[in-house]
């Protein structure tokens, strides 16, 4: 069955980027001239996804405003021919896809956030695109995962190898090769100790799941320490049944949930930006010479 729905969990507290994320959701932090979440919505649309549910919470209404019309602004721009290209960009934000919203009323982890999408998804496979992971690629990464879902008919996680010292911040996967960049997943350990590392492959920002994942999340107990329901625990259940693959995707992922990630995203996107790319490159070269 073709994947046409995606959910974007964006209800986290963003404590690693405070105080920036105190009143501006981290998913709305800028990369040059667009908020992070717009890159994610554009990636979904480029992959053929038509319906997107964004999981928000109190204080994230600004996300809804961004994808809505801004009549006052648009009327003002309509009266100024020299700003036609800006008007086009502003209007495009509100016409990207069918975007829906639901609130996660308590911040109880990514698994709990995904479960909020159960009735939106129904009995179809769907994509989860983490709201603070922006991935720049030629072919949309979620589309790369959707291809693998079509081919094998089981859940797919997007993975990349991360430096060994960083694996304990993410998760570690036990995998065996299937073909090209696709692997079978046998085991996942969330936030492993250095001794538990099975490979340097970690799940980064995109997955495509069968609807059965909701039952597995419902059966997943909350972590006794943090009170959070870990999404990886439910995906591990799929792996144990032989129903989970991994795709080592082509693309560069930026973690907008940490300060260095935000700066790397801004720097690299600015270098390729049609309006400011050349000037920014010249500025960076000059700056680098002084370091």
Contact positions toward ligand UTP, by CB under 6 A?
Answer: 9-16, 27, 55, 104, 107-110, 112-113, 130-132, 257
- CB atoms inside a 10 Å sphere around CB 290: 5
Using only the alpha carbons of the chain, give its radius of gyration. Answer: 20
Of 15 and 95, the one with the shorter C-beta distance to ligand UTP is 15
Of 9 and 77, the one with the shorter C-beta distance to ligand UTP is 9
Of 31 and 77, the one with the shorter C-beta distance to ligand UTP is 31
Tell me how far, at minimum, the Cβ of 241 lies from ligand UTP, in Å: 25
**DSSP percent split of the chain into helix, strand, coil, nearest 5:** 40, 25, 35
Tell me how far, at minimum, the Cβ of 240 lies from ligand UTP, in Å: 23
Of 131 and 182, the one with the shorter C-beta distance to ligand UTP is 131
- What the block records as the tokens of 78 is 């309509």
Of 57 and 144, the one with the shorter C-beta distance to ligand UTP is 57
Of 40 and 148, the one with the shorter C-beta distance to ligand UTP is 40
From residue 256, how far is each of 39, 40, 58, 260 by CA, in Å? 12, 12, 20, 8
What is the C-alpha separation between 106 and 262, in angstroms, rounded?
26
Residue nearest to ligand UTP (CB): 12
Tell me how far, at minimum, the Cβ of 227 lies from ligand UTP, in Å: 10
Closest by CA to 25, choosing from 33, 13, 16, is: 13
| 71 close to 78: Cβ distance less than 8 angstroms | no
Tell me how far, at minimum, the Cβ of 160 lies from ligand UTP, in Å: 16
Q: Which residues on neighbouring strands pair with residue 248, listed in sequence order?
A: 159
Of 55 and 141, the one with the shorter C-beta distance to ligand UTP is 55
Alpha carbon 248 to its chain centroid, in Å, reads: 16
Tell me how far, at minimum, the Cβ of 187 lies from ligand UTP, in Å: 21
What is the C-alpha separation between 54 and 102, in angstroms, rounded?
7
Of 27 and 43, the one with the shorter C-beta distance to ligand UTP is 27
What is the C-alpha separation between 59 and 106, in angstroms, rounded?
13
Alpha carbon 76 to its chain centroid, in Å, reads: 33
Tell me how far, at minimum, the Cβ of 37 lies from ligand UTP, in Å: 9
Tell me how far, at minimum, the Cβ of 271 lies from ligand UTP, in Å: 25
Tell me how far, at minimum, the Cβ of 107 lies from ligand UTP, in Å: 4
Q: What contacts 25, CB < 8 A, 6 or more positions away?
A: 10, 14, 56, 59, 60, 62, 63
């Amino acid at each position: 069955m073709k994947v046409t729905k995606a959910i974007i969990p964006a209800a986290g507290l963003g404590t690693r980027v405070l105080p920036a994320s105190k009143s501006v959701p981290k998913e709305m932090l800028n990369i040059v001239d667009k908020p992070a979440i717009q890159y994610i919505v554009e990636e979904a649309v480029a992959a053929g996804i038509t319906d997107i549910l964004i999981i928000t919470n109190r204080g994230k209404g600004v996300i809804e405003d961004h994808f809505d019309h801004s009549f006052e602004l648009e009327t003002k721009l309509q009266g100024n021919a020299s700003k036609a290209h800006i008007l086009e960009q502003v209007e495009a934000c509100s016409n990207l896809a069918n975007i829906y919203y639901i609130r996660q009323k308590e911040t109880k982890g990514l698994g709990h956030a995904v479960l909020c999408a159960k009735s939106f998804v129904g009995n179809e496979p769907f994509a989860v695109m983490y709201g603070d992971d922006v991935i720049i690629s030629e072919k949309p990464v979620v589309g790369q995962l959707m291809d693998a879902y079509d081919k094998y008919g089981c859940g797919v996680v997007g993975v990349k190898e991360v430096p060994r010292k960083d694996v304990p911040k993410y998760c570690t996967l036990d995998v065996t090769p299937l073909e090209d960049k696709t692997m079978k997943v046998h085991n996942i350990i969330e936030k492993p100790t250095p001794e538990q590392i099975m490979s340097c492959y970690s799940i980064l920002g995109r997955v495509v799941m069968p609807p059965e994942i909701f039952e597995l999340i419902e059966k997943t107990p909350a972590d006794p320490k943090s009170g959070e329901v870990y999404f990886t625990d439910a995906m591990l259940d799929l792996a144990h049944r032989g129903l989970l693959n991994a795709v080592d995707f082509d693309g560069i992922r930026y973690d907008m949930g940490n300060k260095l990630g935000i700066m790397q995203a801004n720097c690299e996107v600015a270098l390729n930006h049609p309006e400011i790319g050349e000037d920014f490159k010249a500025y960076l070269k000059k700056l680098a010479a002084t370091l």
